[in-house]
A and B are shown apart, each in its own frame.
Chain A
């Protein structure tokens, strides 16, 4: 029995948290109720990326792209699309709500400039069904490696592809693998770093949720290449859906003889195990992760020795992140020639980014290396939410820096981002608008690093706290210009002297905002002014006597209370008692409460 329609429901965590599973269940129920269950297959897929408009439902073969779907819409989708064969116009994605013109998927700007390599199967296949992965050439890369290539050939293929680590630092993947091959020892390990903890990053989570077999295939190829028989996936406990999908995928791969003893009838045996993190950001650092895997405190170790020589239980270990591995699966399937044509000379392939913050289309995107930031933020991301002015974008999470409007035309590569004082990082992009205060944001990032510093080395343990205190002084109006110099001095020392990259990059958000927005820092210091009004201690509220009609709403909302005035007369705020909570500002319907 062939199905006439396929309904793909995004079941990534983002859409799931807004009732995607209810939509899925309702669709199945409706198909049964309306007597068309043999005409339609409803499938749960991974993330479509267009999270801003989620939950997303796509119907094939008509390619109808429905956005912001609710469980109640299931009845109409089945009745119209499956029974009558026509689209539900009101749910289709519209470029412009006013004209209500609908557009085909290929014409949605969000997808036009993207090129999906890592995410090629996300939103396309059912991640809980290995057959769908295999139908899209899945595991053919493993087959090719096992039967047509020697380990050294795999390394050469990776070298020719130009793949570099996607965890942030950009170390050539082939070299990491080659060093592990050459390190002496019988026992070797493959480890996947899926401890994605960077604030603003969720690419790895979505990749696993949407296409877990890609990761399994690549880790198995790695095991074959370096001569390892065991691999561990270290994944955050905060990602329950990804963990569940991985477990299902590993079980299926074992049933198909793609994991376990004598894979595909070869002499190569390989097993994979999942290990859950217990909540520590620093475990994303490779040596800390390995310590944690061994059942110790997740504290970084000095390098050398590098994990390639002395890693897990002191054995040579390849540790790569999720995106790096998934790229390997693609390279081994499609070949290095194909892959190396994507990207720039030194940064090959694509990169996934998570667009968050003040962006119109928040979501998961993938673009060729060398794409301009402007294309990502304005064409794909649709620009700033609510038409506000772009202020900056933070790449690389708490380890990166802010990139401002002047650099938007810079093509994204490992080198260009580092030159801009930021870094590739894992791929989180937090977009800020004119309403955000850069000093406040730098302080926020520093508070995160204070919390997450493991405390092992003094530069990071003491430096993050000291810098946070100085930033606190500035945002509360007590800072001096000397504090600004101190921030730069401590920041540079920390960058140089910290044991690992957590401390080594913790100063970046502060240093880069001082570099690009020194004026704003000085305003906080000299004028006790925060132009965006985010630093509460520097805000002053007053009431415009001309606009105030004396309704008394603000006085009733004031928790102190410090607003007085006769009925129908202009009210006044007693600044000496004001706690600056902003309730009056939010309450006033006449714009009479002014924030300075």
Chain B
């Protein structure tokens, strides 16, 4: 079930466009926000708010990388796997993450804290290699820096990104 607040937010999004369907990706993101991922029920609920079928919403949900149709951990690490990071030794950062977290790309740590996903290009090339954790940018990564960042994040709650 979507909360009242979620329904209201979806309704507000739908009001922005001449067609309700246009608000679908926003509606899916709203439904995903509190849950961390988008389960079948949340997807169907969001679709219903906009008056479209679950199947049709599913076709959109599976198209976009930022809609997670499988459960994710407390914190999502988007590691940039674009050529500009790769050419600056981004692979060693990825290897380090794999090793430290004990997961492959797409995997979630056993304690449910971290999910590791690749990102096409985060556009942080001036600070390559780079990653985004819970929507916050981290650049100029080294294995030491990454360790310090992960240690700092442990204990932080979902959506509780550092204040800008």
Contact = CB atoms under 8 A, between A and B. Distances in A.
Are A and B genuine complex partners? Answer: yes
Contact of A278 (B18, B64, B121, B140): B64
Contacts of A273: 16
Interface string A277-289: 1111100000000
A431 to B, nearest CB: 9
B34 interface: no
A450 to B, nearest CB: 12
A471 interface: no
Contact of A428 (B17, B84, B137): B84
B122 A357 contact: no
Nearest to A586: B92
Contacts of A292: 25
A54 B124 CA distance: 13
Contact of B21 (A201, A244, A294): A294
B92 to A, nearest CB: 10
Measured as residues with beta carbon below 8 angstroms from the partner, the interface class of chain A is 35 or more
Contacts of B60: 295-297
Interface in B23-62: 23-26, 28-29, 50, 59-60
Contact of A17 (B28, B120, B127): B127
Contacts of A54: 126-127
Interface in A362-421: 362-364, 394, 398
B3 interface: no
A107 to B, nearest CB: 23
A389 to B, nearest CB: 15
Nearest to B78: A238
A273 B130 CA distance: 29
Contact of B84 (A52, A200, A295): A200
Interface stretch (A191-199, A250-258, A344-352, A496-504): A191-199
Contacts of A428: 84, 125
A8 to B, nearest CB: 18
Contact of A452 (B59, B120, B126, B137): B120
**Interface core residue of A239, A275, A394 (most chain B CB under 10 Å):** A275
B65 A280 contact: yes
B88 interface: yes
A235 B108 CA distance: 28
A51 B67 contact: no
A211 to B, nearest CB: 17
A398 B81 CA distance: 13
A354 B21 contact: no
Contact of A357 (B26, B88, B120, B137): B88
A358 B127 CA distance: 13
Contact of B124 (A14, A280, A313): A14
Given A14-B126, A17-B139, A17-B140, A295 B121 contact: no
Contacts of A432: 87
A27 interface: no
A275 B21 CA distance: 14
Interface string A560-580: 000000000000000000000
A202 interface: yes
B19 A51 contact: no
B52 to A, nearest CB: 8
B115 interface: no
B140 A297 contact: no
Contact of B120 (A14, A293, A451): A451
B128 A13 contact: no
Nearest to A278: B64
Nearest to B122: A238
Contacts of A430: 83-84, 87
Contact of B65 (A13, A199, A279): A279
B27 to A, nearest CB: 9
Interface stretch (A114-122, A212-220, A440-448): A440-448
Interface in B105-164: 119-128, 130, 132, 135-140, 164
**Interface core residue of B29, B50, B83, B130 (most chain A CB under 10 Å):** B83
Interface string A220-244: 0000000000000000111111001
A280 B140 CA distance: 25
19 contacts: A14-B126, A18-B127, A51-B127, A52-B126, A199-B120, A205-B123, A275-B26, A276-B29, A279-B64, A279-B66, A280-B63, A295-B24, A297-B59, A354-B125, A357-B84, A362-B126, A430-B84, A430-B87, A436-B87
Interface of B: 16-19, 21-26, 28-29, 50, 59-60, 63-67, 78, 82-84, 86-88, 119-128, 130, 132, 135-140, 164
Given A199-B84, A277-B64, A363-B126, 17 more contacts: A13-B123, A14-B126, A17-B130, A21-B164, A198-B121, A200-B82, A237-B66, A239-B123, A281-B121, A294-B21, A295-B23, A295-B50, A354-B125, A356-B84, A428-B125, A430-B87, A451-B120
CB-based closest 8 A-B pairs: A279-B65, A51-B126, A199-B82, A278-B64, A17-B139, A295-B24, A279-B66, A199-B121
